[in-house]
Amino acid sequence: MASGVSLTLLSAVFLPNLMPAAFAQSAATDAVVTSAPAMSPEEIEQLRAAADEIFDAIPSAVPKVKDNAVTREKTELGQMLWFDTRLSASGILNCNSCHNLAGGGTDNLETSIGHGWQKGPRNSPTVFNSIFNVAQFWDGRADDLRSQAKGPIQAAVEMAATPDHVVNVLNSIPTYQEHFRTAFPGEADPVTFDNVAKAIEAFEATLITPGARFDQFLEGNLAVLDDKEKHGLKLFMDTGCSACHSGVNLGGQEYYPFGVVERPGSDILPLEDKGRFAVTKTASDEYVFRAVPLRNVALTAPYFHSGKVWSLEQAVAVMGVAQLGQELTPDETSAIAAFLGTLTGEPPRVELPILPPSTSTTPRPEPLVKNSLSKGDAVETQSGVR
């Protein structure tokens, strides 16, 4: 897998192109139709060979996961947990609330809505192919999907639950206990928060989208992309997008400032979210974010961690100026966006699981609106309160 070039090298290459300021943000280019010149068969094969050096196709088989064997028992359990709203304090939210597997694996909202209708600070990334990312979240603060999965369950603006709540719910349901015993054979006490995360991680490993037209092109089907899409791929590599968006996910491997050349305005890059700085506390990491994986990007609007940009063409144009100091023409942004559309793969067929019913000992959902008349209840934030 190709990894991104170092930032220093990148700046050395691209900084001389520094553009004067003025970038009109309203460069909506959806209406532009590009008729790209046809390439010769040799040029197309050269393009394919060059792309093959930088990118990899999504494998068709479920990938291996470090220290977590992906078994059918585990993925089935993970799938149940994925859809089970009882893991949230309110009993309303599950992972699918914000990562809709019937869509692009996101909620298509500017930023997510979580516990008690709170608006979270960031846009929800797709969960499809996230197993291939080197670290999780916009700022990479979770090393893998296993540690990631514990985040949203506990986050106050997401599912707002506690590990104890989750384990109490699952232990109160005999069918779940049985599923944990078969998914984690030989463990004396398999119903743990760690195993919840492992089961979800195993399920997430199955959420891959092979067969994108771009992958078919990489594998030698040269006619599967039209002229405009091929032109867009060439531009994506020649202008330098692929310096950061490379490998199997076209991103998800390295961190860069949002604004290597020119920082976008606070309408797109809100000042309060300093990205990776919050993880490393290093000044040079201010406004540094993970190069977003671009698989299925045509399905995951709105764009950027702020979710402020709804058009893919506009997102491409913003990148040109911010990361490369280059004002792309409407034809160029349109061709690159057309190429990005070829990254849409075949989503996995996910069947809704049958969830086992609650029992008399299953903790009840926390009421969203507290009854001010019941004394002592108002300060209770712990879940599982009747």
Detail the residues annotated as belonging to a binding site for heme c.
95, 98-99, 115, 241, 244-245, 319
Q: Does 166 bind ligand HEC (CB under 6 A)?
A: no
Q: Does 47 bind ligand HEC (CB under 6 A)?
A: no
In angstroms, the CA 350 to CA 199 distance is 16
In angstroms, the CA 255 to CA 276 distance is 8
In angstroms, the CA 219 to CA 134 distance is 24
Q: Does 145 bind ligand HEC (CB under 6 A)?
A: yes
Q: Does 93 bind ligand HEC (CB under 6 A)?
A: yes
Instruction: List the binding residues.
Output: 95, 98-99, 115, 241, 244-245, 319
In angstroms, the CA 311 to CA 301 distance is 7
Q: How many CB atoms lie within 10 A of CB 351?
A: 6
Question: Residue 145 or residue 218: which is nearer to ligand HEC going by CB?
Answer: 145
**Minimal distance in Å, beta carbon 56 to ligand HEC?**
17
Annotated catalytic residue 158:
yes
Q: Does 160 bind ligand HEC (CB under 6 A)?
A: no
157, 114 Cβ separation under 8 angstroms? yes
**Minimal distance in Å, beta carbon 154 to ligand HEC?**
9
Segment contacting ligand HEC by CB under 6 A, of 97-105, 219-227, 357-365, 374-382:
97-105
Q: Does 209 bind ligand HEC (CB under 6 A)?
A: no
Q: Does 246 bind ligand HEC (CB under 6 A)?
A: no
Segment contacting ligand HEC by CB under 6 A, of 39-47, 175-183, 292-300, 349-357:
292-300
Q: Does 200 bind ligand HEC (CB under 6 A)?
A: yes
In angstroms, the CA 230 to CA 336 distance is 9
Q: Identify which of 222, 203, 187 has the alpha carbon closest to the alpha carbon of residue 39.
A: 222
Q: Does 245 bind ligand HEC (CB under 6 A)?
A: yes
70-72-75-78 Cα dihedral, nearest 10 degrees: -120
**Minimal distance in Å, beta carbon 376 to ligand HEC?**
28
Binding mask 328-357 for ligand HEC (x = CB under 6 A): --------x---------------------
**What totals of helices (H) and strands (E) does the chain contain, helices first?**
13, 4
70, 205 Cβ separation under 8 angstroms? yes
In angstroms, the CA 152 to CA 130 distance is 15
User: CA angle 340-343-346, nearest 5°?
Assistant: 150
Q: Does 122 bind ligand HEC (CB under 6 A)?
A: yes
Helix (H, G, I), strand (E, B) or coil at 96: helix
In angstroms, the CA 372 to CA 329 distance is 59
What tokens appear for 334 in the block? 């349109």
Catalytic residue selected from 158, 204, 254, 332: 158
Q: How many CB atoms lie within 10 A of CB 187?
A: 12
Segment contacting ligand HEC by CB under 6 A, of 18-26, 28-36, 68-76, 147-155:
147-155
Catalytic site residues?
158
- Give the binding site for ligand HEC (CB under 6 A): 10, 93, 95, 97-99, 112, 114, 120, 122, 124-125, 127, 130, 133, 136-138, 145, 148-149, 152-153, 158-159, 200, 236, 239-241, 243-245, 256, 258, 260, 289, 291-292, 294, 297, 300, 303-305, 315-316, 319-320, 323-324, 336
